[in-house]
Amino acid sequence: MAENVNQVESGEPNFVSDEESEEESSGPGVEEIPARTIPPFELNPDDTDVDLNHRRIDRIEGFHVLRQVETLCLRQNLIKKLENLESLTTLTELDVYDNAITTIENLGALVNLKILDLSFNKIRKLENLDSLVNLVKLFVINNKVSTIENVSHLSQLTMLELGDNRIRKLENLDALVNLESLFVGKNKISKLENLGSLKNLRVLSIQSNRIVKLEGLEELENLEELYISHNGIQTIENLDQNVKLTTLDLAGNRISRLENISHLVLLEEFWFNNNRLDHWPDVDQLKGATTLQTVYFEHNPIAKDPMYRKKIKLALPSVTQIDATYTR
């Protein structure tokens, strides 16, 4: 299901100015919690899963007693620095979502780490991840990262989530040959490029950027879900090789014609609300997708037709949901 697909009711791209970006908060509320003495908590040396969510912890310390910990959750605390983790060599998952961390550091000993969540912090640079060669999922949502860099050694990554940062260019992804899901929504990316080596990519989410042309996806033959809503695209094109697509989200663009998608016969969900479609025959482009279940065409000129829902259902009989409402 496409995310945030109905946020914008115009076909204009959701461009974020540099000034607005500088004012963005780095977390849901970490700075609103007043610092105070850390409440006591007990650590069992034999615990494998430790959850200290929302405990007002302002420093990582005392965790050396954990002999076999595998997952450590420190979400929604007041931590400013990654430190004192070198003894936790059994750790496979570290979650420091929503803290006040500014730098990725002191993770060198965590060679067994598979999942790392650094989301909603104040990180400006991807760095010091060299030893995390077993990392499978990396989340750095809502930080201040401006460049995709220093990830070429993370060849085991299957998921990379860099949404809501300040990234301007897709780059330095060539070595991530096992990547299956790439999320870079709500950045400042203006061009689809440098994705050719991601042969295993199944999900690409690049919503709310500055893309004006569909291109650079020719080699992504295994792509199943493409979310590119709220950009500045005017024409549907260059999807000839993406025949495995089951979800296509083009909502909130500037597209006036449905074209060049009749070959996407595996489509199950098609999101096209908040565009400029006024030509009913174009809907026939979707007739070949006999497993199509959900379509969104609201906030297009055709949706003003009193017979709108009936016409969609007649043209696309397999559809069970039109916009937010199920069909009868």
pLDDT reported for residue 42: 83
Per the document, the length of the chain is: 328
Considering the domain architecture, whether residues 45 and 5 belong to the same structural domain is answered as no
193 belongs to a structural domain: no
What's the rounded Cα separation, in Å, for the pair 101 and 60?
A: 11
Q: Which residues make beta-bridge pairs with 49?
A: 71
Classify residue 198: in a domain, yes or no.
no
Do residues 225 and 157 both lie within one domain?
A: no
131 and 42 fall within a common domain: yes
- For 88, the token pair is 């936790």
Assess whether 175 and 281 both reside in one domain.
no
- Give residue-wise pLDDT tens across range 88-134: 999 999 999 999 999 999 999 999 999 999 999 999 999 999 999 99
Of 154, 187, 220, the position where a domain reaches its end is 187
Q: Is residue 192 part of a domain?
A: no
Domain CATH code at residue 8: 3.80.10.10
What's the rounded mean pLDDT across residues 277-296?
98
Cα 68 from Cα 66, distance rounded (Å) = 6
Q: Mean per-residue pLDDT for 264-280?
A: 98
Do 298 and 221 share a structural domain? Answer: yes
Domain match, 7 and 24 both: no
Residue 159 phi/psi, 5° resolution? -135, 130
The answer, yes or no, to whether residue 201 has pLDDT greater than 60, is: yes
Quickly count helices (H) and strands (E) in the chain.
Answer: 2, 14
The verdict on residue 204 lying in a domain is: no
- State whether 177 and 314 are in the same domain: no
Q: What residues does 94 pair with on adjacent strands?
A: 72, 116
CA pair distance 57, 217, nearest whole angstrom: 44
Tell me the three state secondary structure of residue 27.
coil
On whether residue 196 sits in a domain, the answer given is no
The span from the CA of 156 to the CA of 11, in Å, is 38
Residues 23 and 4 in one domain: no
Query: Do 39 and 180 fall within a single domain?
Result: yes
pLDDT value at position 40? 58
First to last CA, the chain: 21
The answer, yes or no, to whether residue 298 has pLDDT greater than 50, is yes
Where a domain ends, among 187, 222, 244?
A: 187
Has residue 47 been placed in a domain?
yes
Q: Residue 24 pLDDT more than 70?
A: no
CA distances from 117 to 137, 205, 302 (A): 8, 18, 43
Do 102 and 141 share a domain, yes or no? yes
> Could you tell me if residue 199 is inside a domain?
no
- For the chain, the domain total comes to 2
The reply to whether 139 falls in a domain is yes
Query: Which residues make Cβ contacts (< 8 Å) with residue 113, sequence separation at least 6?
Result: 91, 92, 93, 94, 107, 132, 134, 135
pTM given for the model: 0.88
Q: Rounded mean pLDDT of the chain?
A: 91
pLDDT of residue 3: 40
Q: What is the extent of the structural domain holding 265?
A: 1-13+211-328
What residues contact 49, with CB distance under 8 A and at least 6 apart? 69, 70, 71
Residues 60 and 157 in one domain: yes
In the predicted structure, residue 149 carries a pLDDT above the cut 60? yes
118 and 105 fall within a common domain:
yes
Percent of the chain with pLDDT over 70: 88
